[in-house]
């Protein structure tokens, strides 16, 4: 039986993909749960139209990602921290603080969960964090920890 997947299914395929499955798996699991539809002529035409729309959406998303990448890499983000006597900061810099600094200085809202910091930032200086904007796009961002 051939079905067109509506949603991504682990170990089977991605959305808008034509796959061949056993009849029972298709009729009893995929179709009732809304994960797939039978691959008849009408549904195949709809799949082609969805794929065209998805290509256009991906193109717009890629342009937006490139724009955001240019903004983040052109600037060094400054993050203020309280400092002790030996230039060690109290606590450490977190991804929440970096996300707030990006929002204040550049005006971009970045989800804190997508920011990956180096091990622990406990001193003043320059560091590089990575922001995962998409599953394929991991952008390095330079930031500086300053006294503040």
Where in the chain are the domains?
Answer: 2-59, 66-147
> Top-level CATH class of 66-147?
alpha beta
Asked whether the predicted pLDDT for residue 135 surpasses 80, the reply is no
Residue 14 vs residues 78, 81, 121: alpha-carbon distances, Å: 40, 45, 39
Cα 62 from Cα 31, distance rounded (Å):
32
Strands ordered across the beta sheet of 18-20: 18-20, 2-5, 36-38
Dihedral sign (CA 64, 130, 105, 100): positive
pTM of the model: 0.63
Is the pLDDT at 134 greater than 80? The verdict is no
Residue 36, pLDDT score? 94
In CATH, the number for domain 2-59 is: 3.40.5.10
How do residues 48-99 score in pLDDT, each as one tens digit? 898 888 888 889 988 888 888 888 888 888 988 888 877 788 888 888 999 9
């Amino acid at each position: 039986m051939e079905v067109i997947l509506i949603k991504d299914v682990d170990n089977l395929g991605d959305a808008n993909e034509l796959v061949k499955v056993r009849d029972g798996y298709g009729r009893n699991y995929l179709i009732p749960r809304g994960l797939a539809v039978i691959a008849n002529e009408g549904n195949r035409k709809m799949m082609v139209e969805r794929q065209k729309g998805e290509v256009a959406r991906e193109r717009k998303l890629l342009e937006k990602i490139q724009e955001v990448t240019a903004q983040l890499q052109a600037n060094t983000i400054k993050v203020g921290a309280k400092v002790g006597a030996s230039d060690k900061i109290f606590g450490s810099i977190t991804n929440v603080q970096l996300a707030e600094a990006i929002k204040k200085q550049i005006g971009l809202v970045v989800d804190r969960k997508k920011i990956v910091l180096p091990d622990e930032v406990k001193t003043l200086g320059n560091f590089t964090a990575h922001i995962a904007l998409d599953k394929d796009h991991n952008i390095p961002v330079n930031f500086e920890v300053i006294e503040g």
